[in-house]
Amino acid sequence: MPIELWLLFVTAVAYLGLLFLVAYAAERGWLKPGLVHHPLTYSLSMGVYATSWTYYGSVGLASQGGYVFLTVYLGVTAAFALTPLLLQPLARIVRDYQLASIADLFAFRYPSRVSGLLVTLFMLIGILPYLSLQIQAITESARVIVQDAPPDILALVGCVTLTLFAILFGARHLTPRDKHEGLVAAIAFESAVKLIALLSVGGFALFGVLGGPDALAEWLAEHPERLRQLYDPVGQGPWLAMLFLAFCAAFLLPRQFHMTFAENNNPAALKTASWLFPLYLLLLNLPIVPILWAGIRQGTATAPDFYAVAITLNQAQPWLPLLAFVGGVSAASAMMIVEILALASMCMNHLILPVRLLGHAPQRDLYRWILWTKRLVIALIFAAAYAFHRIIEHNQGLAQLGLISFVAAAQLLPGVLGILFWPRATRIGFIAGLCGGAVVWFALLILPLTVHEGTLTRELALSAMFGEGGANIWSVTTFWSLTVNALLFVLGSLLSPPILEEAEAAEACRPQPAYQPLAGQVAATSPRQFEKQLAKVMGSYAAHAEVLRARLELGLPHDEERPTELRRLRERIHRNLSGLLGPALARLIVDDQLRLREKSHIALAESIRYMEEQLEESRSRLRGAVKALDDLRRYHRDVLHTLPIGVCAVSPQGEVLIWNDAMQAIAGVDARQAMGRTLANLPVPWGELLADFAASAERNRAKQTLQHGGRWRSYRLHKAQIEPSQGQPREAGGLVILVEDRTDLDTLEAELAHSERLASIGRFAAGVAHEIGNPVTGIACIAQNLIYEDDPERLEAAARDILTQTQRISDIVKTLLAFSHGEPLARQPPSLFRLRDCVLEAVRLVRLSHAGRQVQLDCRVGEDFLIRADRQRMAQVFVNLLANACEASDPHTRVEVVAEADGAEHLLVHIYDQGRGIPEEIRQRIFEPFFTTKSVGEGTGLGLSLVHSIIEEHHGSIQIRSRPEQGTVVTLRLPRAAVPAPPEETIIP
């Protein structure tokens, strides 16, 4: 029963309206994001592979070649079985380098404007007949349904509608880098529709026409030749060639590349698609044979290509023919939309943009210009497909024009294999191979179309040369075009040495790229200068937007000036522009406008952040020894970052490379803020401090105080030179600075020192009582005698005696006060004083002790020996050392302090005693805190430990030599202070 044309038209329009709605809903976020990004949606969107060739042409192919039609899908299954080796590496390259089309991929790997241009032109020529075939399929199926030739205007209206759809949902965003969720959702919807339609028609064929499985089995038993017609061609004729062509088409056809890689929102979904998409193809092909047999059973006069609609016309309900027609529309429209979008993207990046951007004044708004030009290109390609459909007479079967495109796409296989597996491949080889393959393809498949009125026959002059002996045209053309292609590819590559860009691109395409440091420094010194440079080509608006985008992606401030960060910014802009303008043009613009300084280099060590970023990005791809090394790297990094000591690694040029967690806490400076800056440019006060320490000759700085966070804090600094390992360049070296926050430890030490001082005073208490007691007794006696004195001279003498005695008491008290004075936690700033005064003060104090009174204490320290130190703490040193010497000495022996110059800058202070000496085993532990040989309650064990600590703090050293029963010499080596100019500094007496 024929269907009215208006009903068919309304149905098609309603379907396309529904398609618009689905795409719009996905774009507006009305569909759940989980649904749009679901692997099922992704797998269905790949169903764009199945065009009207599958929908209609498979039945025609099955009628001629039996199960040969399955090879078109079995080849795809074989390609998807190789997902980890083939598709995932390609997906990674496309994602990492923001490639928008298959031409971009070749232009990236074989850096030359010719590579992309050639692929674009070849694909345009190869695919255009296939596009026109889709229009032909729709109009032909409409003719079958209405049983009359539909007006040509319908095909035109269909083309205009699809153009609108492609423009609205495929060229929607200002920048082509963004994914088109609406497009993906709509193509997935179309795949679902054609599957449902074909399954419905297949179900009708099996149950409605053939009478069910049992009846079919009976019919086949009566007509065994039908089964033989299916199975006889298996493995024969074009079987292998078509398997191979389908294998290539699975990822090399522009539309497949576009949906599989460029529009892929979810990289992990490719794994699921590796089996779900072949399963979809299996379901789609399951009804083909029943439809064929139903057509034969019905004796339909229509060509087998259109059995899918013809068999449905013999039933009362019109919904099935309409559904079958909608399925055909969905198959053709999806293919046209995606194929034309992919071709438009290729034309933009490799035909139009290079001409427009190079040699013309920059656009004011490049984005808008790109968007509208791309829309125009889409419309032009649609128009070309429509014109081709009108001009050429389609004498070919649906499958044959499709296969011509497949052979064209297969010419890209050697280039892709070069990308994935042959780093030595060069652009010369690729261009030579592609040209050679294209010439053979044109001579064997396109030329005969014009010579023989659009019919490919085995009698063709050229193909007949190779086709003798039963070989068919597809095997012959595939074999010879690819043989010529591959030979030229290999020869061309071997004969042309790879240029630097090729070597870099080949490295980037390896499954586990060797991480190259970013070489060179950008001549531009700020993001603003980047904008100015880019604006010369891209216009100020796009230049500003691109720099801003890259800057925000990297988290860099607008006034960034660190060379390493600017180098990273350049790299990011290059990648982003690659997504916008294609890799060839992006490289040209970046190389030209964001030049690298000649003879400059960025040290290997300075690229640490970039390399770390690359490693983090590609961590999931690392395997084997590389992964083990990366694990080791992460472990070392974690150790470095969790060290409780601040670590700051500096490049030979003085830029901070590592700034660990403790360093962030100590300095209050964030790692992102610090890294890449020179030490001197770090925030106050750290910049000055670290730069000064790095420049100084000292390897350690025992104590550095800084006011930080509202209080004084104490730090100890260390540094070490990083020597490059063997085989590494000199630039790999640098400096590592360790910063230890000693504030808490110093506080504790100060408390201990104070306790020790108080303990010393306690130990001197008896002596103090004795020393004070004597003058007091003397004063008392004098005072008693004064009652009886009336001689003025004697009275005056008595008064003088009293004053002398009180002065003696006052001296003792002053000394004690000076020794014990001060807050336990307060440190005095270093002052300049005579060493002799300090030693004498200590001698006076020690003489207060019982042991001190038993020995002879001598001080032989010159008047001119000055030191700069914390005087109170230095007095503590001598008190402790002298007290120990006295306690170790027998009564009436001598303890002597002697000082001498040690060169111009140091002093040696020896404290000799003639005591018992220190046994060797004790001497080794003598500076340990709380180590004492005295009885409990007599000593704290902190005395010598404090002495050691104080001397080290003052950049000095201490050495002990001792002989049993002969005595001990303690030698202090202290920095000697120069005599100051009188008005500036006063020596404290």
Partner 1 sequence: MPQFPSRRNDGAILLLLFALLLFASPFADWWAQAGVPWYFPFLLWGALIGLIALYQHSRDAD
> Binding of partner 1 at residue 272 (CB under 8 A)?
yes
Q: Is 470 in the site for partner 1 (CB under 8 A)?
A: no
> Which one of residues 153, 221, 625, 684 is an interface residue with partner 1 (CB under 8 A)?
625
Which range in 74-82, 468-476, 861-869, 888-896 contacts partner 1 by CB under 8 A?
A: 74-82
CB of 34 vs partner 1, minimal distance in Å: 19
**Complex with partner 1: residue 218 or 592, whichever CB lies closer:** 218
Establish if 196 lies at the interface with partner 1 (CB under 8 A): no
Using CB under 8 A as the binding rule, the residues of this chain from 83 to 112 that contact partner 1 are 83-85
Answer for which of 17, 32, 211, 231 binds partner 1 (CB under 8 A) is 231
Greatest alpha-carbon pair distance for the chain in Å reads 165
> Could you tell me the smallest distance in angstroms from the CB atom of residue 320 to partner 1?
23
CB of 627: closest distance to partner 1 in angstroms?
A: 5
231 or 319: whose CB is closer to partner 1?
231
Q: Is 286 in the site for partner 1 (CB under 8 A)?
A: yes
Long-range contacts of 507-511 (CB under 8 A, 24+ apart): 507/423, 508/93, 508/96, 508/97, 509/89, 509/93, 509/109, 509/419, 509/420, 509/423, 510/423, 511/89, 511/621
The neighbouring-strand residues paired with 968 are 913, 962
Q: What is the DSSP letter of 958?
A: E
Cβ closest to partner 1, residue 268 vs residue 766: 268
Among 143, 177, 271, 853, binds partner 1 (CB under 8 A): 271
Q: Give me the half-sphere count of Cα atoms (radius 13 Å) on the Cβ side of residue 782.
A: 19
Residue in 52, 77, 139, 349 binding partner 1, rule: CB under 8 A: 77
Q: Which two tokens stand for residue 536?
A: 């010369």
Smaller CB distance to partner 1: residue 57 or 278?
Answer: 278
Counting contacts by CB under 8 A, is residue 413 touching partner 1?
no
Nearer Cβ to partner 1, position 275 or 466? 275
CB of 69 to partner 1, least distance (A): 11
**Which stretch, 120-128, 136-144, 267-275, 851-859, contacts partner 1 (CB under 8 A)?**
267-275
- Residue 278 binds partner 1 (CB under 8 A): yes
Among 15, 42, 55, 80, binds partner 1 (CB under 8 A): 80
Find the part of the chain contacting partner 1 (CB under 8 A) among 296-304, 432-440, 618-626, 734-742: 618-626
Among 9, 20, 207, 275, indicate the residue that binds partner 1 (CB under 8 A). Answer: 275
* CA separation for the pair 739, 898 (Å, rounded): 37
Distance linking the first and last C-alpha atoms of the chain: 125
- Taking the least distance from each CB to partner 1, the nearer of 74 and 259 is 74
Select from 7, 174, 227, 776 the one that contacts partner 1 (CB under 8 A).
227
HSE-up of 129 (CA within 13 Å, CB side)?
26
- Comparing CB distances to partner 1, the nearer of 71 and 564 is 71
Helices 366-391 and 540-554 cross at an angle (nearest 10°) of 110
User: What is d(CA 753, CA 763) in angstroms, rounded to the nearest whole number?
Assistant: 15
Instruction: Work out whether 113 is an interface residue with partner 1 (CB under 8 A).
Output: no
**274, 475, 493, 576: which one binds partner 1 (CB under 8 A):** 274
C-beta of residue 509 within 8 angstroms of C-beta of residue 93: yes
Question: What Å distances lie between residue 480 and 322, 411, 461, 466, 477, CA to CA?
Answer: 44, 11, 15, 9, 5
By C-beta, is 49 or 106 nearer to partner 1?
49
**Contact predicate 392/135, CB 8 Å:** no
Using a 10 angstrom Cβ sphere, with 0-12 exposed, 13-18 middle and 19 or more buried, the burial of residue 616 is: exposed
Cβ atoms of 917 and 967 closer than 8 Å: yes
Residues 6+ apart with CB under 8 A from 835: 861, 865, 866, 867, 899, 907, 909, 974
- Give the range of 178-186, 232-240, 339-347, 515-523 binding partner 1 by CB under 8 A: 232-240
- Tokens (6 digits) for 588: 């040209």
Query: Among residues 620 and 966, whose Cβ is nearest to partner 1?
Result: 620
Interface of this chain with partner 1, residues 446 to 465, rule: CB under 8 A? none
| Contact between residue 3 and residue 318 where contact means Cβ atoms under 8 Å apart | yes
Position 352 contacts partner 1 (CB under 8 A): no
Find the shortest distance in angstroms from Cβ 72 to partner 1: 12
Nearer to partner 1 (CB atom), residue 92 or residue 180: 92
What is the distance between the alpha carbons of residues 504 and 489, in angstroms, rounded to a whole number?
A: 19
Binding string, 54-73, against partner 1, x = CB under 8 A?
-------------x--xx-x
Kindly tell me which of 270 and 909 has the beta carbon lying closer to partner 1: 270
> Helix, strand, or coil here: 607?
helix
Site stretch for partner 1 (CB under 8 A), options 273-281, 385-393, 535-543, 728-736: 273-281
DSSP states of 115-181 as a string? HHHHHHHHHHHHHHHHHHHHHHHHHHHHHHHHTSPPPHHHHHHHHHHHHHHIIIIIS-SSSTTS--H
**Near partner 1 in 475-534, by CB under 8 A:** 511-512
Residue 707: CA count within 13 A, CB half-sphere = 1
CB 731: neighbour CB atoms within 10 A?
17
Least distance to partner 1, CB of residue 210, Å = 11
Smaller CB separation from partner 1, 626 or 859: 626
Does residue 248 belong to the site contacting partner 1 (CB under 8 A)?
A: no
Using CB under 8 A, count the residues that bind partner 1. Answer: 40
- Check residue 635 for interaction with partner 1 (CB under 8 A): no
Block residue for tokens 């500096």: 650
Report d(CA 535, CA 544) in Å as an integer: 8
Least distance between partner 1 and beta carbon 198 (Å): 14
Q: Should residue 229 be labelled a site residue for partner 1 when binding is judged by CB under 8 A?
A: no
User: Applying CB under 8 A, which part among 11-19, 78-86, 172-180, 839-847 lies near partner 1?
Assistant: 78-86
Token pair 């083909």 is found at 288
Which region among 227-235, 709-717, 791-799, 847-855 touches partner 1 (by CB under 8 A)? Answer: 227-235
Whole-angstrom Cα Rg for the chain: 46
Three-class secondary structure of residue 968 per DSSP: strand
Among 628, 745, 803, 901, binds partner 1 (CB under 8 A): 628
232 in contact with partner 1 (CB under 8 A):
yes
> Toward partner 1, which CB reaches closer, 85 or 745?
85
Q: Write the CA distances from 276 to 184, 272, 387, 527, 653, integer angstroms.
A: 16, 6, 37, 46, 55
Q: Which residues pair with 649 in a beta bridge?
A: 658, 736
Site for partner 1 in 757-796 (CB under 8 A): none
The nearest distance, CB 217 to partner 1, in angstroms, is 8
Residue 239 host element (H or E):
helix 239-252
Binding partner 1 (rule: CB under 8 A), the pick from 627, 634, 637, 641 is: 627
- Vertex 34: Cα angle to 618 and 333 (nearest 5): 95
Shortest distance in whole angstroms from residue 481 CB to partner 1: 20
Question: What is the full DSSP assignment across 334-383?
Answer: HHHHHHHHHHHHHHIIIIIHHHHHSSSPPPSSHHHHHHHHHHHHHHHHHH
Interactions with partner 1, residue window 919-978 (CB under 8 A): none
Interface residues toward partner 1, by CB under 8 A? 67, 70-71, 73-74, 77-78, 80-85, 220, 227, 230-232, 234-235, 239-240, 243, 271-272, 274-275, 278-279, 282, 285-286, 289, 511-512, 623-625, 627-628
